[in-house]
Structure 1
Amino acid sequence: MLVGLNTGIPLFDKRTARELYCWSRLEHKNVLKLLGLAEFRGFMAMVSPWMLNGTVLDYVRGHPEVDRLQLCVDVVDGLSYLHGQNTVHADMKSTNVLVSDDGIAKITDFGSAELKSSGLAFTATTTRPSTMRWLSPERIMTSTPTKEDDVYACGLEITTGEVPFTGMEDATICFKKIVHMEIPPRPLGFPSFEIEEADALWDIVTTTWSHEPSNRPEAGTLARQSTQGGKSPNTVTHITDDNLREFALYFHPGPQQWNAVLASMERVWEKVHKRLIVA
């Protein structure tokens, strides 16, 4: 199981409770399932299936032969489902997509700033690039996440193995996006499948970067385009803190330990529901 621990805030407000509750209700093969919450020494942890392959960017870098087009389809299928549930991810990038043991991409860490400000996340890292690289021009200007903004952020890293606007500072990226309306350049050698398929996929990717949000395809349309665009070719955060050794036992549980985890989840879910009810 994968554990996302908060950074020291033992309580959460009503909006955070609502986000967690909505996440727990989502069911899709390309969305990481939130199994529940566990309480440890006054702090809260989100519990979800362990994703052995880590983030999707780690996965494609470690497995250059992997079917990247299928991973793209996985991501946009999951995003289409979220949008169909009126859920905006608000932080689409490769560090927020994990890969299961059987190679299926699963979106995680969605749901807006409430969860982030509570210190709850599954993919925390100290070395991730600035989020500015993935933001649409209108998101930079207004700070309001939308479905169109999610689409703008979707897909590039999986196909290229690179972050958008590699090597550029935030100020330069803003200037290029807003003033010059530039999109990330096509990397050399993009990608590793036949040239005709690569051209078709690049055309699809570039439609998501339209400066006009209404001109971007919806996530569902993007999924269909990805499957029709050409034939596909044939660091997860671990528990290391000594203070968490006791908690780590719950994630190789015997029956008694598993019952303790479920009881802890039940107590926290009761708190979540109370905060949803209390104005």
Structure 2
Amino acid sequence: MKKEMKLWSLLKHPNILPFLGYCFSPATPHEEADGIAILSLVSPFMERGDAVRYLWAHPDVNRLSILEGLLRGVSYLHSMNIVHRDIKGSNVLINDSGSAVLADFGVSTFLENNRYLQSNSGTSFTSSGTIRGSLRWMAPELVLGNSQTPSKGSDMWSVGCTLMELAILAAPYVSYKLDVQVIAAMLQKELPFDDVCVTGGNMHQSQYLVSRLWTVCLECWQSDNTNRPSADDVSAAITSFR
């Protein structure tokens, strides 16, 4: 949690959940931590909840503006040489003005040669090579062990998953119930969504929007992570839909 607090406290952007500070509270008896205080991180309360639940409750909301907000948040992180590592619909919150803010930096990582990392040389911001994140949204190279190093490209795979998730309100690999089935699908190079899922999803939006998103997402799901578009490129493409 200390790593998350130090990283999150550096972030200042309209589409990033604000970090307000931290507090200590006494441990409850069932936590078996006599006399030890619990550290909690403090942020504004997002009464509207995450984007998935919000869109289920408000199907006529303009989803394009929410997708644009998500991309602006990711672009900001990547401009600071930070990868989020756990981009998904439930980590996109909706603030009081209806804008998307990216949250949950518990597994986020500074890339090498980052100016913030260099200025905090006594602090470790890196994580172990084990799988950390939400498997269904993760890039195959991280899940299958082809690469244990998160990258902007691996974030962009997750962005593609999240764009389509919020467009049709269905999770990646929705036809598979078990993680082992998802891993097997990745081994077979199956995409997180297919045409049947896209055309039959809970869109409440025009098929025109979803078909254009599909083209963008396919670019995000290229097998070579170095060929995936940048967050700025996807943001520009999404904005052009207006």
Which structure's relative contact order is higher, taking Cα pairs within 8 Å and 6+ residues apart? 1
Alignment partner of 1:26 out of 11, 14, 21: 11
Question: Greater shift after overlay, 140-149 or 152-161?
Answer: 140-149
Q: Residue 83 of structure 2: SS of its match in structure 1?
A: coil
Structure 1 CA distance, aligned partners of 2:72 and 2:199? 27
| Shift in Å, 1:18 | 4.2
Counterpart contact for 2:17–2:102, Cα < 8 Å: yes
Structure having the higher helix fraction is 1
How many Å separate the matches in 1 of 2:91 and 2:207?
29
Q: Tell me which of 110, 134, 152 is aligned to 1:147.
A: 152
Q: What is the deviation of 1:87?
A: 1.2
Matching residue within 8, 13, 21 for 1:36: 21
Q: Which residue does the alignment assign to 2:214?
A: 202
Distance 2:141 2:81 in 1: 20
Q: Which amino acid aligns with 2:153?
A: E
Report the Cα distance in structure 1 between the residues aligned to 2:81 and 2:4, rounded to whole angstroms: 12
Question: What SS does the corresponding residue of 2:82 show, helix, strand or coil?
Answer: coil
Q: Return the alpha-carbon distance in structure 2 between the equivalents of residues 134 and 43 of structure 1.
A: 30
TM-score by length of 2: 0.76
8 Å Cα contact 1:207/1:217 also seen in 2:
yes
The 1:95/1:196 distance shift into structure 2, 3 A limit, reads: closer
* Paired amino acid for 1:180: K
Equivalences for residues 90-105 of structure 1 within 5 A = 90-105=85-100
Partner of 1:60: 55
- 1:223, distance to aligned residue in structure 2 (A): 0.6
In the TM superposition, what whole-angstrom CA distance separates every residue of 1:197-246 from its partner, at most 9, and x where no partner exists?
33212211221111111121111111111111x22xxxxxxxxxxxxxxx
Instruction: Find the counterpart in structure 1 of residue 223 from structure 2.
Output: 211
Given candidates 164, 180, 187, the residue that maps to 1:178 is: 187
- Shift of residue 195, structure 1, vs aligned partner: 3.3
How many percent of aligned residue pairs carry the same amino acid? 29
Q: Please report how far the alpha carbon of residue 181 of structure 1 lies from its aligned counterpart in structure 2 after TM superposition.
A: 4.2
**Which runs of at least 4 in structure 1 moved beyond 6 Å after TM superposition?**
none
Q: Which residue of 2 aligns with 1:234?
A: none
Alpha-carbon distance between aligned partners in 1 of 2:46 and 2:4, rounded to the nearest angstrom = 22
How far did 1:113 drift? 7.0
Partner of 1:188: 199
Unaligned 5+ runs, structure 2: 27-36, 110-132
Counterpart CA distance in 1 for 2:134 and 2:7 is 24
Could you give the per-residue CA deviations for residues 41-82 of structure 1, whole angstroms, max 9, x where no partner exists?
Answer: 211111101101111100011000011111111111101101
* Contact 2:167–2:210 (Cα < 8 Å) also in 1: no
Counterpart check, 1:161 vs 2:169: yes
Offset of 1:188 from its aligned partner? 2.4
1:164 is displaced (CA, Å) by: 0.7
Query: Take 2:41 and 2:236, find their aligned partners in 1: how far apart are those partners?
Result: 33
Instruction: Give distance in 1, aligned partners of 2:54 and 2:5.
Output: 27
Amino acid at match of 1:72: L
For the residues of structure 2 that align with 1:185 and 1:225, how far apart are their CA atoms? 21
Shift of 1:146: 1.8
State whether residues 84 and 107 of structure 2, in contact with CA within 8 Å, keep that contact through their aligned partners in structure 1. Answer: yes
Cα distance change of structure 1 residues 181 and 194 upon mapping to structure 2, 3 Å threshold: closer
Give the paired residue count.
200
**Within 5 Å, which residues of 2 pair with 1:67-86?**
67-86=62-81
**Which AA in structure 2 matches 1:193?**
Q
Per-residue deviation at 1:39? 1.1
